[in-house]
């Protein structure tokens, strides 16, 4: 047999090599990797314009319709890129002028007159007027529109159109009165004004929007990307044209893919960097990590309808039995702080002298023994009235929760509690934890409170039937605090109420507040001007700029 076909392997491999080299010959504009990059510390503003910034996130932007949006990606792209809000918020969530240039209250504070900026236009050329604000307001408050955050405007009773750029709202005193206006994008009355409110959810505007903000909508590819371009006509008084020419939001569901794409220069920013990738990013001189605090906290709900969790002393013991500092180190790679209550350091009124319950398994055992939980039969599991301390903990499938659940299971095993873990995705968990009969023993989750601290649905005695009233906790003293938080405007009184809110829940432990996670984003060093805080990842997007070498 001839050896000719064995030799056929070599030309084939050579041909393949040639093809690979030809295909790989141009990296495009991804930039260099591994070596030092040209990052000049002081670039004049006039030289900052240009380039395309690419951002990757796990979830697609669902819609540009604020009346149907609940996801963070949609809401922040509406508020910071495509549209303007009536007001902006500073880092303390105090209102700042934006579309509303000024406002003044009547003498009795039951009405506020708002003057709008004159000269802003929609991206189709129509002027932005008070009519758009009235339309947005009335639609937000209309139950038929189904706006999920209608409660933001509970204190706003009505509106009167004074002229094309002046409105007068009837209001009642409330804390964080303007919060809703810093979160709701103003929508075009000339496009949506004739659409029945119940049809807004399916109107094509959500996927083919016309904005009025610093960026214009260009295109959307479902499940893949949204593309925006800088609005050259955005008024300087409102911030002016963004530095970047184009902004692309890419959907990348996988953390490892995001990390690889960032390192390869295919994306410039990951809005959420997984703690598991921290060491890789820290070792890469082309990437920098952005640390910021957000409002969320991770927690365990103990169902007090189960006899074993009914006693606050038992719940405090469970909290002391769990090594929360260890969880922060092991799961969050140290990025987080042990939680005191639902209000974390992100809030200006957070009391930094508050001390979390310690990790003290011996004390936990003592407390449990004092209320009757002992290992009477010597099987290693505590029991009371012949009932073992045994329950099931639900957790969602994310790697973080699996690891937290495993640590908690081990910690509780050390004090004689038998905990089983059941993993359920959120859609399967929701019916169990929100149903009226609350079909769960315990579960762990992340919660993101509003700046308004309107948490009555979660804690108030008259909200026990609300789907998110997981704990069934009822304390009239807490109710009084929660009611006052919505009304009090004096900062010192407000701060006292916030502290009291945390203290009451820390004492009764309806939840074990695990920790406040620090948040990580990761960006290529050539992307400058990125700032993130509790207002959102995209709060500074109009100020982002790219080094010339990266354009």
Partner 1 sequence: MSVGLLRYAGRRILQAIPLLLGILTLTFLLLHLAPGDPTATYLTDNVSPEVVEQTRERLGLDQPLPVQYARWVTSFATGDFGRSYVGGESEVAELIGAALPNTLLLGLVSLVIIFVVGCWIGVIQAVRQYGISDTTLTIGSLALYSMPGFWLGLMLQIAVSSSWWPDALALPVSGMIDVRSHASMSLLGQGVDVARHLVLPTIGLGLASAAGIARYMRGEMLEVIHQDYIRTARAKGLSERRVIFRHALRNALIPIASLLGLYLPILIGGSVVIEKVFSWPGMGMLLYDSVYARDYPVVMAVTFLFGAIVVAGNLISDLLYAAVDPRIRYE
Rounded to whole angstroms, how far apart are CA atoms 336 and 329?
Answer: 8
Q: Does 168 bind partner 1 (CB under 8 A)?
A: no
Q: How far apart are CA 153 and CA 183, in angstroms?
A: 11
The residue among 27, 26, 35 whose CA lies nearest residue 525 is 35
CA distance 503 to 516: 16
Residue 514 to residue 324: CA distance in whole angstroms: 6
Residues in 48-77 at the binding interface with partner 1, rule: CB under 8 A: 52, 54, 60, 62-65, 68, 70-71
Instruction: Give min distance, CB of 251 to partner 1, in A.
Output: 7
- Any contact of residue 508 with partner 1 (CB under 8 A)? no
CB of 23 to partner 1, least distance (A): 5
272 or 434: whose CB is closer to partner 1?
434
Three-class secondary structure assignment of 5-45: HHHCHHHHHHHHHHHHHHHHCCCCCCCCCCCCCCCCCCCCH
Report the nearest approach of partner 1 to the CB of residue 175 (Å).
16
Q: Of 219 and 377, which CB lies nearer to partner 1 in the complex structure?
A: 219
- Which range binds partner 1 by CB under 8 A, 1-9, 92-100, 410-418, 487-495? 1-9
Smallest gap from Cβ 185 to partner 1, in A, equals 15
Stretch that binds partner 1, among 264-272, 341-349, 355-363, 505-513 (CB under 8 A): 264-272
Please say which residue, 233 or 425, places its beta carbon nearer to partner 1: 425
Binding track over 280-319 against partner 1, x by CB under 8 A: ----x-----------------------------------
> Which is nearer to partner 1, 284 or 508 (by Cβ)?
284
Q: Which residues contact 19 (CB under 8 A, 6 or more apart)?
A: none
Which range, of 77-85, 149-157, 330-338, 356-364, touches partner 1 by CB under 8 A? 149-157
Residue 103: CB minimum distance to partner 1, A: 24
Q: What is the largest CA-CA distance in the chain?
A: 105
How many residues of this chain interact with partner 1, rule: CB under 8 A?
87
Angle between helices 312-321 and 361-370 (to 10 degrees): 160
Give strand ranges (E) for 44-120: 52-57, 87-89, 95-97, 100-105, 111-116
* Phi, then psi, of 508 in degrees rounded to 5: -95, -20
For residues 22-39, one letter each, b for 16 or more C-beta atoms within 10 angstroms of the residue's C-beta and e for the rest, the string is eeeeeeeeebeeeeebeb
Site string for partner 1, 82-121 (x = CB under 8 A): ----------------------------------------
Residue 109 or 285: which CB sits closer to partner 1?
285
Quick one: which of 158, 193, 380, 467 contacts partner 1 (CB under 8 A)?
A: 467
Least gap, CB of 550 to partner 1 (angstroms): 10
> Which residue among 457, 461, 464, 507 contacts partner 1 (CB under 8 A)?
457
3-state helix/strand/coil string of 227-242: EEEECCCCCHHHCCCC
- Among 455, 508, 526, 547, the residue binding partner 1 under the rule CB under 8 A is 455
Which 205-234 positions form the footprint of partner 1 (CB under 8 A)? 206-207, 221-225, 227
266 binds partner 1 (CB under 8 A): yes
Separation between Cα atoms, residue 445 and residue 423, nearest integer Å: 12
Q: Can you give the C-alpha Rg of the chain in angstroms?
A: 27
- Which residues make Cβ contacts (< 8 Å) with residue 86, sequence separation at least 6? 98, 99, 100, 114, 133, 181, 182, 184, 186
* Burial of residue 272, with CB atoms counted within 10 A of its CB: 0-12 exposed, 13-18 middle, 19 or more buried: middle
Question: Which stretch, 161-169, 171-179, 358-366, 461-469, contacts partner 1 (CB under 8 A)?
Answer: 461-469
Q: Which stretch binds partner 1 (CB under 8 A): 100-108, 146-154, 386-394, 479-487?
A: 146-154
Q: How far is the CB of 433 from partner 1 (least distance, A)?
A: 8
- Residue 148, φ and ψ in degrees, nearest 5: -65, -30
Spatial separation of the C-alpha atoms in residues 319 and 309, rounded to whole Å: 12
Q: Cβ 507 to partner 1, closest distance in Å?
A: 22
Judged by beta carbon, residue 22 or residue 46, the one nearer partner 1 is 22
- Between residue 381 and residue 410, which ones bind partner 1 under the rule CB under 8 A? none
Residue 181 vs 389, nearer CB to partner 1:
181
* Minimum distance from residue 406 beta carbon to partner 1 (Å): 23
Structure tokens at 240: 């002016």
Give the footprint of partner 1 on residues 410-449 (CB under 8 A).
Answer: 424-432, 434, 448
CA dist 69 and 123 (Å) reads: 21
Region binding partner 1 by CB under 8 A among candidate stretches 31-39, 377-385, 406-414, 497-505: 31-39
């Amino acid at each position: 047999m001839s050896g000719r076909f064995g030799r056929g392997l070599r030309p084939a491999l050579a041909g393949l090599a040639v093809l690979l080299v030809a295909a790989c010959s141009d990296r495009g504009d991804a930039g260099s990797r591994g070596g030092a990059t040209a990052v000049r510390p002081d670039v004049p503003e006039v030289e900052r314009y240009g380039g395309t910034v690419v951002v990757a996130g796990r979830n697609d932007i669902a819609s540009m319709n604020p009346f149907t949006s609940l996801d963070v990606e949609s809401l922040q792209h509406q508020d910071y890129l495509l549209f303007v809000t009536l007001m902006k918020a500073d880092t303390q969530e105090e209102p700042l002028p934006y579309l509303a240039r000024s406002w003044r209250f009547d003498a009795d504070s039951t009405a506020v007159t708002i003057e709008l900026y004159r000269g802003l236009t929609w991206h189709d050329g129509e002027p932005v007027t008070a009519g758009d604000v009235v339309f947005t307001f009335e639609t937000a408050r209309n139950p038929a529109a189904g706006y999920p955050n209608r409660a933001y405007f509970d204190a706003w009773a009505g509106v009167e159109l004074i002229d094309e750029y002046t409105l007068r709202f009837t209001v009642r005193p409330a804390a964080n009165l303007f919060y809703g206006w810093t979160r709701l994008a103003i929508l075009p009355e000339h496009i949506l004004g004739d659409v029945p409110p119940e049809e807004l959810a399916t109107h094509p505007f959500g996927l083919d929007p016309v904005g009025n903000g610093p960026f214009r909508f260009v295109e959307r590819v479902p499940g893949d990307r949204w593309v925006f371009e800088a609005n050259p006509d955005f008024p300087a008084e409102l911030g002016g044209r963004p530095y970047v020419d184009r902004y692309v939001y890419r959907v990348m569901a996988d953390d490892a893919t995001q990390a690889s794409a960032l390192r390869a220069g295919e994306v410039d920013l990951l809005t959420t960097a997984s703690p598991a990738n921290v060491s890789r990013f820290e070792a890469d001189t082309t990437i920098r990590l952005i640390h910021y605090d957000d409002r969320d906290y991770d927690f365990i709900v103990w169902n007090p309808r189960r006899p074993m969790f009914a006693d606050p002393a038992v719940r405090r013991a469970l909290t002391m039995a769990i090594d929360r500092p260890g969880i922060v180190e092991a799961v969050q790679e140290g990025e987080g702080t042990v939680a005191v209550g639902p209000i974390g350091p992100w809030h200006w009124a957070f009391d930094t002298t508050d001390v979390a319950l310690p990790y003290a398994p011996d004390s936990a055992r003592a407390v449990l023994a004092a209320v009757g939980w002992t290992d009477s039969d010597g099987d290693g599991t505590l029991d009371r009235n012949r009932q073992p301390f045994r329950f099931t903990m639900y957790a969602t499938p994310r790697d973080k929760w699996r690891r937290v659940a495993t640590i908690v299971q081990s910690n509780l095993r050390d004090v004689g509690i038998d905990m089983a873990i059941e993993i359920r995705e959120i859609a399967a968990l929701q019916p169990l934890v929100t149903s009226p009969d609350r079909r769960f023993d315990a579960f762990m989750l992340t919660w993101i409170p509003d700046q308004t601290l309107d948490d009555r649905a979660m804690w108030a005695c008259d909200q026990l039937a609300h789907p998110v009233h997981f704990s069934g906790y009822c304390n009239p003293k807490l109710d009084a605090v929660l009611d006052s938080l919505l009304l009090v405007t004096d900062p010192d009184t407000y701060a006292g109420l916030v502290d009291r809110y945390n203290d009451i829940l820390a004492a009764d432990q309806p939840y074990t507040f695990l920790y406040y996670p620090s948040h990580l984003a990761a960006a290529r060093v050539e992307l400058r001007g990125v700032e993130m805080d509790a207002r959102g990842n995209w709060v500074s997007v109009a100020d982002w700029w790219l080094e010339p070498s990266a354009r």
